[in-house]
Amino acid sequence: MMISKQMPLIAMISTQFIYAAMFLLSKAAISSGMKPSVFVAYRQALATLALAPFAYFIDRKRCPPLTFYLLCKISIVCTCGMTLSLNLHYIALNYISATFATAVTNTIPAMVFIIAVCSRIESLAITEKHGWAKVLGSVLGISGAMVFTFYKGPHLYSGSKNEAHNLIAMSYTKKEWIKGSLLLVAANLTWAIWLVMQAPILKEYPATLRLTTLQCGLSCLTTTIYGAVMERNISSWKLGWNVNLLSVAYSGIVVSGINYSMQVWVVEKKGPAFTAIFSPLALILTASSSALLFHESLYWGSVLGGAMLVAGLYAFLWGKNKEAQFGAQHKLDLSKEQAHLEPIITSKSPNDEQEKQSDKI
């Protein structure tokens, strides 16, 4: 019973490990010359093929009818969240580093929180402690991500004397860096909208696996059409036994297939803000992996940023937990009040009995 309650938490931590590996692999593939639209098309095609058998058998009994109106709604959300967001993200990787991309991705919790509150999907009791904890946790987490990335401080671990990461960062011009940053912000905004829109769509179409498979398939279709128009050279679509194939297979099967399903499931259980607040963990994992695998340097600023990330995460989770307890207690109080009033309303008063006796006479 205790493990089942912690499954959303375990699922979201697992997704961040998967995302950290994706950032490193996808940056390597895009840097080697792979076109973003081709990358997304292959990624979503593999995700659709990997999910289709499970979606057919697992969600066969609880799959509601798919109306034309609902299909149009899913297509619009999918185009915004998957197709547009992924294409913008991989285009941005041409102009910025993987570490910076991971850091800017941590603006998603703030975007999701604002959109969810404005659309009344996520509640915000600003007069309650749990409301302030959610706001503070979001701000502290994003601030920690920014400190983790932009503030160095003294050396903690000198990974390599040639400072490979700095050489990569210096190869970008200021114009390219700004362009990549704006593209990445746009990608994060469309992804935040996709996360928020999963909750109302799941109410109409509660088959989680089939919904994810359908969105991956529609995204593959639209991206393939877009890629065929933009990349007419057949050589751009060829895959060899290299990092491009590994990155596409990993992103398609593991990220788009398994990870998306876990995220949609957690959105259904805990809401979109709970899902997005874990994204700063990918920054810590990416930086740690870069230090171990690529011998990049670590600084005390990373320790400070990591501490802020963890503090923000726990503050938000505490607020969500207290909010759930407050909601459960409020429902219990209402049910007790209704149970107390019901016999009073339904019981007959003495005046009613006297009036009936007088009517008989």
**Which tens digit of pLDDT belongs to each residue from 222-276?**
989 988 888 878 888 888 788 888 888 898 888 877 787 787 788 778 776 677 6
Identify the pLDDT of residue 163. 45
Identify the pLDDT of residue 165. 42
Identify the pLDDT of residue 170. 41
Range of the domain at 100: 2-360
103, 145 contact by CB (below 8 A): yes
Spatial CA neighbour of 63 closest among 200, 213, 199, 197: 213
List of the chain residues with pLDDT < 70: 1-4, 62, 123, 148-149, 156-172, 272-273, 276, 290-291, 293-298, 326-361
Identify the pLDDT of residue 336. 58
Identify the pLDDT of residue 305. 77
How many separate domains does the chain show? 1
Q: How far apart are CA 225 and CA 297, in angstroms?
A: 42
